[in-house]
Amino acid sequence: MSALDVFAIDGTRAVVTGGNRGIGRAIALTLAQAGASVVIAGRDAAQNQAAVSAARDAGLELHAVTADVSRREDADRLAGEAAGQLGGLDLFVNNAGACVHAPALEVTDDDWARVLDVNISGVWHCSRAAARVMKDSEGGAIVNIGSISAMIVNRPQWQPAYNASKAAVHQLTKSLAAEWAPYGIRVNAIAPGYVRTEMAPVDRPEFQRYWIDDTPQHRAAAPEEIGPLVVFLASAAASFITGSVIVADGGYTLW
């Protein structure tokens, strides 16, 4: 196998949660461009179909399953339907996420539950569902989308529920990597910094001072810059990497 061949993921059977917009959609399209067969998952069936149609217009094929990852039964169904459609499962990307910008004393119980249900319970349910499929074949790779919010406290907005959930994602990544290594399942995470999406309005003046000006590269990432990291972690080039958290933040956490 040549130096470049180890990065190939042709034929990889992949699922991307939250794959109908933002970072998730960019990851799904990057995987498809690299030769993977991709199922996207999201709660909004219409938005899922819009993403599939847009990909088709660009000459790429995506499949969609409507599912709420915070519900265990939906996660189990997603893994089963995806494996059935694709003929197996090699890669599962836990990308779906939710955030509430509010000071801790103003966060409601419903806000707290909603963020943790999606961001950590969703990763838990989906990872276990994927692992049950993978361990009975030849293993596979799970990639969790964490955040630099697991390492810092964001400013000027407060978002304690999100920060706590992403710290949990990073630690769960390590726990599952250790436990599932004997099954040939690698579990890693990516911790993006500020990425230009609907969830991160990086161009608003009140945020730009902290999110952009304080970043050594003085810019936010495009969603498309995260996809290649997923390709790497899915490929044979990352065969000895598990339990790692790869930070992609333009240097933000260096200060």
- CATH label of the domain that carries residue 82: 3.40.50.720
Containing structural domain, residue 117: 9-248
pTM, whole model, 2 decimals?
Answer: 0.97
User: Which parts of the chain have pLDDT scores under 70?
Assistant: none
> Domain for residue 253, yes or no?
no
> Domain for residue 162, yes or no?
yes
Enter the tokens of residue 153: 């406290």
> Domain for residue 254, yes or no?
no
> Domain for residue 2, yes or no?
no
- Active site residue: 162, 183, 194, 252, which one? 162
pLDDT for the residue numbered 78: 98
> Domain for residue 50, yes or no?
yes
pLDDT for the residue numbered 53: 98
Tens digit of pLDDT for each residue in 58-98?
999 999 999 999 999 999 999 999 999 999 999 999 999 99
pLDDT for the residue numbered 198: 82
Q: Which residue has the tokens 């069936």?
A: 45
Q: Is 183 a catalytic residue?
A: no
pLDDT for the residue numbered 172: 99
> Domain for residue 231, yes or no?
yes
> Domain for residue 122, yes or no?
yes
Residues listed for the chain: 255
> Domain for residue 4, yes or no?
no
Q: Give percent of the chain with pLDDT exceeding 90.
A: 96
DSSP result, 91-148: EEEE---------GGG--HHHHHHHHIIIIIHHHHHHHHHHHHHTTTT-EEEEEE--G
